[in-house]
Amino acid sequence: MRRPSIDLLRTVAIVLMVLVHFVENLAGQQSRGWLPTGIAAPIFAFLAGFSHWLWRRGLEDRHVSLAEISRRAVRRGLSLIAIGFAFNVLVWMPEDTFNWDVLTFLGSSLLILELLHDLPRHVWLATAGAAFLTAPVLRQLAQYDTYWTEGWYSPDWTLSDTAIGWLATGYFPIFPWIVFPLAGASTADWLGESPENQTPRVRRLAWGGFGLAAVGIAAASGTNRVIGEGFDTRPTSWSMFPPSPAYVTGMLGFTLLVFALSRRAFDPPAQWPLPSWMNRIVGTFSQHSLSLYLLHHVVHLWPLWIYSAWQGADTTSLWQQATSPVWAVAGAVAFLVSAYGLLRWLDHVGWPTAESILRWFCDSPPRE
């Protein structure tokens, strides 16, 4: 059974992601200060953990063997990592293969969730806490700023830099980003213990999220950092690159809060059930989040690379200075409307999407 709250939150994250990427990559510095940056990724990562738990429980309820479930989970994780590497090469540049972006992180997180699945929930939370506390230490030991000298992640092609990037210095390193999928899986497991009456637990989840968000905001209140602008290694900065303790705490709290409110408001028995037309929109965007992630990069970045190469200029000469923020926002809206129509048509005619291909490859039963 689909959950409107999850579809809605994932759609909100997709819309914010497309808006931020279009404006940042097409308009660049002109967009600083007003974009809702740093919100989509925590929501995506939290929902990845929550959805993984639901997916696994659904297979268990259908009496799929634990060995088969693990096989599918590992395939999903490794496939996302492979897609992430291919995406880095084909959409960005070959030198960005190991920048450890969101797809490689999500694939890695699925492997970690599967590794920890049979352990008690308090072990999941302890692992998340350890990752949260260890991340600033790892960044300091790795000299994080030496990998971001030009404002973006730029490692050497060495085994040590590749490993350090995955752990601590890339765009989405395991430490501390694994906190969000582990929190999502833990939340799903906790709510799953009392499926009959979840109102008290959802209420406690909302208050806990509110408290964490308040702590994170209060910790960062003395700084004037903007998410994503440069980097700041102070624990009390509000910085996504690197993900500071204040940012991780605040965004985890915010994610828990909006998740609890959405679940209380929109999931059966809903106080405000979504109308059918909105259910179709958020359901389509949620089901095709991977396709949208891949497609929106191709749509707004490939024209820049192709046109620059055709003009004989450096391939990235138009990056962050192709147009104004207003036109970038208009392009994001046009993409979302067009993508919705395209995805509905693909579903109608039964043509493959990134999600259906991934399911075919990862979830097909083994041959006898």
The encoded tokens of residue 200 equal 């008290």
Reply yes or no on whether the pLDDT at 225 is more than 70: no
Reply yes or no on whether the pLDDT at 270 is more than 80: no
Which residues contact residue 351 at a Cβ distance below 8 angstroms, ignoring those fewer than 6 apart? none
Q: What mean pLDDT, rounded, does the chain reach? A: 91
Residue 69 lies in a domain: yes
CA dist 288 → 14, 111, 283, 284, 338 (Å): 10, 21, 8, 6, 14
Reply yes or no on whether the pLDDT at 1 is more than 70: no
Reply yes or no on whether the pLDDT at 31 is more than 80: no
CA dist 213 → 204, 228, 241, 293 (Å): 14, 19, 19, 27
> Contact 346/284 with Cβ under 8 angstroms?
no
Mean pLDDT lowest among 177-181, 228-232, 280-284, 354-358 = 228-232
pLDDT band with cut points at 50, 70 and 90 for residue 3 = confident
> Contact 181/113 with Cβ under 8 angstroms?
yes
Domain that holds residue 164: 4-363
pLDDT at 34: 77
Mean pLDDT lowest among 33-47, 78-92, 167-181 = 33-47
CA–centroid distance for 254 within its chain: 15
Reply yes or no on whether the pLDDT at 109 is more than 60: yes
pLDDT band with cut points at 50, 70 and 90 for residue 226 = very low
pLDDT at 29: 60
Mean pLDDT lowest among 34-43, 136-145, 357-366 = 357-366
Residue whose pair of structure tokens reads 């931020």 in the numeric block: 20
Residue 215 lies in a domain: yes
Q: What is the rounded (10 degree) CA torsion for 323, 326, 332, 337?
A: -130
Residue 236 lies in a domain: yes
Reply yes or no on whether the pLDDT at 234 is more than 90: no
pLDDT band with cut points at 50, 70 and 90 for residue 231 = low
Reply yes or no on whether the pLDDT at 146 is more than 80: yes
367 by Cβ neighbours in 10 Å (0-12 / 13-18 / 19+) ranks as: exposed
Instruction: Check: pTM over 0.75? Answer yes or no.
Output: yes
With CA atoms as reference, report the closest residue to 298 among 133, 86, 101: 86
> Contact 282/248 with Cβ under 8 angstroms?
no
pLDDT at 228: 47
With CA atoms as reference, report the closest residue to 263 among 183, 206, 194, 185: 206
pLDDT at 35: 86
Q: How many Å apart are CA 7 and CA 12, to the nearest integer?
A: 9
Residue 323 lies in a domain: yes
Residue 368 lies in a domain: no
Residue 319 lies in a domain: yes
Residue 233 lies in a domain: yes
pLDDT at 104: 98
Number of structural domains in the chain: 1
**Helices 245-266 & 4-27 angle (0-180, nearest 10):** 140
pLDDT band with cut points at 50, 70 and 90 for residue 168 = very high
With CA atoms as reference, report the closest residue to 303 among 325, 324, 321, 318: 318
